[in-house]
Chain A
Amino acid sequence: MPQITNAMPLVVQGDRTLLLDVHTALSRECADALIPFAELERSPEHLHTYRLTPLSLWNAASSGFRAEDIENALLKYSRYDVPQSVTQWIKAIHARFGRIIMKEAENLKGEGKSIGEDGLPLLTLVADTRTLAKDISCIKALDKYLVPNGANSFLLQASARGTVKQILTAQGWPVKDEAPLIDGDALDISLRTQTAHGLKLSVRDYQEKAAEAILGDGGAGTGFGTIVLPCGAGKTLVGMVIMSRLKTHTLILTTNISAARQWIAELLDKTTLTKEDVAEYTGESKNIAPVTVATYQVLTWRPHKEGAYPHFALFREHHWGLVIYDEVHTLPAPVFRVAAEVQSMRRLGLTATLVREDGHETDVFSLVGPKRYDVPWKELEKEHWIAQAECVEVRLPMNRECEELYAANTDRGKHRVAAENPMKNDVVEAIVAASPDDKILVIGQYLSSLKEIARRLHAPLITGQTPTAERESTYNAFRSGEVNLIVVSKVANFAIDLPDASMAIQVSGTFGSRQEEAQRLGRILRPKERTARFFTLITRDTVEEDFGGNRQKFLAEQGYSYRIVRYDSAPDIAAVIGGGRSPSAPPAAACIEGHSPSGALSLSKCAAERCIEGRK
């Protein structure tokens, strides 16, 4: 591990990336300073990469950060001169926020509100200069929404509120939304002081602050936004705090059915809501209650490819006062459409990262809201609320028979031969034997080899064909400690809540899919006393090794300790297991690696989040 030095920690580059040297005394302080206005992209063990984007600057601007504050932070921590192009860009981009304001239109006759065709009060869009107003009027896509109203303002229907913001943001002009929000139907909801399970419930300071950041003083421009917190930091509880303050009917949108059920369980455990108050709206059950938890999947279902989305009615046919978008960075594109229509509702986005794989960050900004709160990771790390994990890639050879089969196969066939290398079964067996204290998941893609592993290890096997009852029973046995090892197919990628799993052994997979890696790793990342370990078995000199490169890059960039070990024969198992693991041993990553898991974890509903207070 390199020594901590007194050098300045930051390198500001012309392409607007910021490299943070974590081996410097000021690195933590600098990381905290960067959080409000820069997005963390990568966090390997030496240099973390942040990026300045228009959205990151507008998010900062909406939180009250001035361009000078940003420039001063860069100048303060920069090791080399800050490129002038960067500071000029910051000034130019930052200044765009607040130049266009959306608010309720004044009644042209002087009293009351002007009501639009949609039955809602008309809104007005005001540009700060005539030139800008002219630029806006030149945007063709806005023609059907905006009606000129004076030298530099326009009138628009409330139903076009989101769409107009979306179009302008995409054109590089963020809109400061100061139009009022409607109140939904009232709901009697409070947080319990003691959970239904009898544990003491306390809201952490940063969770309170996050809720405050969304609610503000209740005036114009408040009541919507996105909270960015790492997995395990308790985003769900932040949502519940906001619900308890607003006391209004709430629609919660989640990534999958398991996450939806987890939300319901949490609501019943930590709030005064009863079973009658909360309903599940998913593929399996379509009930509506004052608090309804739905999945993105059910909302985006439609009977015909080109048809309408029937479940979008859920938004319109009920007087919701708050919509919570869980894992907002995974919000499917069609949901943005309906989100654009319901801009008069209070809304909350929860995520561990604002970076989206599909580039729809601007839609999150304009339709859900700007980032309002981000917590310094070091504080969470200090409290041990972030799980630590070590990834080990084991490269093993093929036997002669396997080699011949591999050589004779097509490209597709080669992948399977490498994946089903029989030596992997020996290594799995050896790892399991050497880890008696771990609760282990063996995960794979091909059923034949999984069956063989399950047979050899006398372990239960869960595949897509396993009946739900049998699955639940096996999971319960694992949770209770009755079973310490399960062999699972790719059904394990999603929706398994196995808090105590401390080790995953991946025998096959696509390896190139970031989502799959993140989800599989996510199975073992819930906070626990011991460092979690994620083994991946790869057959040497095969296509698997090439895929392994992508995987290595992805996981290392997320900040996980990554070890490559060569395995030739049984004695090498010591090196595979090695690393002098102890329950308290931190991974080999550097001092602020706790930042890292954002991208990885946030791709799936983070299991750690669901046990926010359970550990206590």
Chain B
Amino acid sequence: MTKKTYEVQRDEWYTALISEPSRDFLLKVSSRLGKIKTPYNKQHLLEQLESRLRTQGAQDEILEKLDDIDKAVLSVACFAPFANMAAFHDILHLMYPIQEVRVHINHLESIFVLYRNSEGVYCVTPPLQKAVRSVVDIKDILAMEALGKSKWIRWQDFDRWTENVKKEGRLEEPITEMEIAALIAFVMAHKKVLKSDGSFIIQARKDAAKQFGCSVECLEYLLNCMIYLDLVNDEGALQFNWKALAAFAKLPCPHQAAYLSASIASIGTPSMLKPLSQMLLDCDATARGMRIEASSLKTLAILFTEGDCRRSRYSMPPNKTTDDMEWDDEDEYEDWRDLSIPEKLVRTVNAASYFGFAWISDDGIYRLCFGGGEKTGDVKETLATSYGDAEKPSSPSTPLASVDASFTVTVMPGMRLESILPLLPFLELVSYQTAAEFVITKESAIRAFDAGFEVNDAVQSLRECTGQEVSDSLMVSLESWYETYKSATLYLGYVLQLTQTAARRFECSPSYEEYVTKKLSDGVYLLNVSAASFAASDNAALKILNRSGFKSALSVKAVQDDSEHSALKSRNFPLLREGRNLLDTL
């Protein structure tokens, strides 16, 4: 949001006062400038008022009389990007009776400390802004406490807290990029992972419990969030969207964390993904090293609501006041859609707590840690099991990954997802603890080839991650497995067979590249026609032939299905014996 210049704000203030009825205007101005002689010039009076308010004496007199409610009201006006009456209500209603707040707003308006602009937003009068800023504090409206003064969790409560955290499937420590990498490798090795309700199937649950050092619930949650972010497509079997994953992997870690946490709160409202993610990062930056109450989280949501979202009344469902949101019609998301933005933020932070990006104490106090490496000594004191950012002195040349002669790949904390992503499809997860252990097998390599990866992807990534050349043994194996993989390929689609002359002509056609996905052998081509809908696809395939000059082709030749066309031929009748004349036996 761009900050308005003093002149713009002054003009806005003038306009607000001038537009008041003359009687009210004169009454208010006279309270500060004394009796007004007629005829008067409103512009001139406002200039006089502005000079008066600029004086130290006037400012001291005003500031001296401000009480706590005044200061809270002025804090909202200073910090909220859109301080309308609804914002005052939402931020202050738990701290003060709202009627009282209204009285104070009116009072501050009457003594020229506040004015209301044409959008209904309350602003601090421009000549008083500097003075007011010196007496307001964000803590007047936010219940935040520095960890230094009051520890996050008392040491003696730590065990109870970690127990609760584990019971609920939340992580004590923020998940790392390696955990995401491990989950990707885990999912790739399983043909089926999720049930329709989003939880793991029994076998996947067993395997995950064995292979991961964290709760299975957290992994389920993570995988579902990855689906919401379209990093994984859930169409029967899970399929990774490698391009989206590559883009995600390039993001700074806190941004990844914010997107993952916000994904669940953005179901059904994809346009909320970015604002909510951004809000999380803003909240984290504001409340870093602080303990913060849920009500204050909502306040932060209001303070950080930007753009189109701010037009809505904060406590009202956004879909009722904005018309530019994209909604899905699915009823299952209705509950989420109807939430206000502050509520969504609270839920998002709750989601973040499952990933260890936020911690919630028993009494509902939050602490955010999206920054990853910013954990203070205070937190380390209570959370002895921290990793990822706690490497003891080591030389910069310490490689984060190694691959041994049994093709076991061990990855240390700190490895970026971006670096290991091209290698991931080749890896089968063995275990994920502080370090992640994978193994490259024939099966995993063939899965990678099938997903479109090549030997070189693995080799380049291994080189980058280990800082070493790939061993000859691994090269021999990868190449041999690739040969095995290539030895048979199953295609689904339209195959065009041409005679030698026709093939020569077809390959010279300008649209050859466009029409052909792959030349299978001399005169045999796999056409670039989707086989999704056969009726439409038949026409598309025939069109290609016609456009290429083969007008004689009238239909697509299909494999004859004996069961449909040769019913009598395939039907078996029980053998009958010759007819027996009953009379002959008498």
Interface, chain A (partner B; CB < 8 A): 2-3, 5-8, 11-15, 17, 19, 21, 24, 44-47, 78-85, 87, 393, 395, 540-541, 545-546, 549, 552-557, 560-566, 589
Contacts and interface: CB of A to CB of B under 8 A. Distances in A.
A81 B384 contact: yes
Contacts of A6: 393-395
A17 B433 contact: yes
Contacts of A87: 384
A556 B406 contact: yes
Interface string B452-478: 000000000000001110001110110
B402 A46 contact: yes
B384 A5 contact: no
B394 A5 contact: yes
Contacts of B441: 549
Contact of A46 (B384, B394, B410): B410
Interface in B435-464: 435, 439, 441-442
B150 interface: no
B391 interface: yes
Nearest to B383: A84
B405 interface: yes
B397 interface: yes
Nearest to A13: B433
A555 B431 CA distance: 20
Q: What are the 6 closest A-B residue pairs judged by CB atoms, nearest first?
A: A7-B394, A556-B406, A13-B433, A556-B405, A564-B473, A44-B404
B19 interface: no
A44 B408 contact: yes
A47 B473 contact: no
Contacts of A564: 472-474, 476-477
B398 A5 contact: yes
A607 to B, nearest CB: 24
A46 B404 contact: yes
B386 interface: yes
Contacts of B395: 5-7
Contacts of B480: 395, 540-541, 566
B471 to A, nearest CB: 8
Contacts of A555: 406
Query: Number of contact residues on B: which range applies?
Result: 35 or more
Nearest to A590: B404
B433 A47 contact: no
A589 B468 CA distance: 15
Given A13-B434, A17-B433, 8 more contacts: A11-B412, A13-B435, A19-B410, A47-B410, A546-B442, A553-B439, A562-B406, A565-B476
B198 interface: no
Given A14-B213, A81-B384, A564-B477, A552 B405 contact: yes
A6 B393 CA distance: 8
B385 A47 contact: no
B127 interface: no
A563 to B, nearest CB: 6
Main secondary structure of the interface of B (DSSP, over half): loop
A79 B434 CA distance: 11
Given A81-B390, A541-B484, A549-B442, A44 B385 contact: no
A81 B442 contact: no
Interface in B405-421: 405-408, 410, 412-413
Contacts of B442: 545-546, 549
A553 B213 contact: no
Contacts of A554: 406
A561 B473 CA distance: 11
A327 to B, nearest CB: 25
Contacts of B472: 563-565
A84 B406 contact: no
Nearest to A393: B473
B392 interface: yes
Nearest to A86: B385
Given A6-B395, A84-B384, A564-B472, A11 B435 contact: yes
B394 A8 contact: yes
Contacts of B439: 553
A552 B391 CA distance: 33
Contacts of A84: 384-385
Contacts of B213: 13-15
5 contacts: A46-B403, A81-B387, A554-B406, A563-B472, A564-B476
B399 interface: yes
A7 B412 CA distance: 12
A250 to B, nearest CB: 41
A21 to B, nearest CB: 8
Interface string B108-145: 00000000000000000000000000000000000000
B222 to A, nearest CB: 18
A565 B441 CA distance: 17
Given A2-B399, A546-B442, A562 B434 contact: no
Nearest to B439: A553
A555 to B, nearest CB: 8
Contacts of A11: 412, 434-435
Contacts of B386: 81
A15 B484 CA distance: 37
B383 to A, nearest CB: 8
B405 A14 contact: no
A178 to B, nearest CB: 36
A554 to B, nearest CB: 8
A45 B410 contact: no
B473 A562 contact: yes
A85 B386 CA distance: 12
B405 A80 contact: no
Contacts of B391: 7, 79-80
B165 to A, nearest CB: 13
Contacts of B399: 2
B413 A80 contact: yes
Interface in B340-392: 380, 384-387, 390-392
Contacts of A15: 213, 431, 433
Contacts of B387: 80-81
A261 B394 CA distance: 53
Contacts of A552: 405-407
A13 to B, nearest CB: 4
A7 B398 contact: yes
A181 B395 CA distance: 54
Nearest to A8: B392
Contacts of B406: 44, 552-557, 562
Contacts of B380: 81
A2 B434 contact: no
A566 B476 CA distance: 7
A81 B387 CA distance: 6
A86 to B, nearest CB: 9
Contacts of B435: 11, 13, 19
Given A19-B410, A81-B387, A44 B405 contact: yes
Most buried by B among A12, A21, A395, A564: A564
Nearest to B403: A46
Nearest to A540: B480
Given A11-B434, A11-B435, A46-B410, A562 B390 contact: no
Nearest to B158: A84
A563 B405 CA distance: 8
Contacts of A3: 397
A7 B413 CA distance: 14
Interface in B482-496: 484
B233 to A, nearest CB: 31
A378 B159 CA distance: 41
Contacts of A565: 472, 476
Nearest to A561: B405
B465 to A, nearest CB: 12
Given A3-B397, A81-B387, A83-B384, A563 B473 contact: yes
B100 to A, nearest CB: 49
A529 to B, nearest CB: 24
A570 B398 CA distance: 41
B434 A83 contact: yes
A569 to B, nearest CB: 15
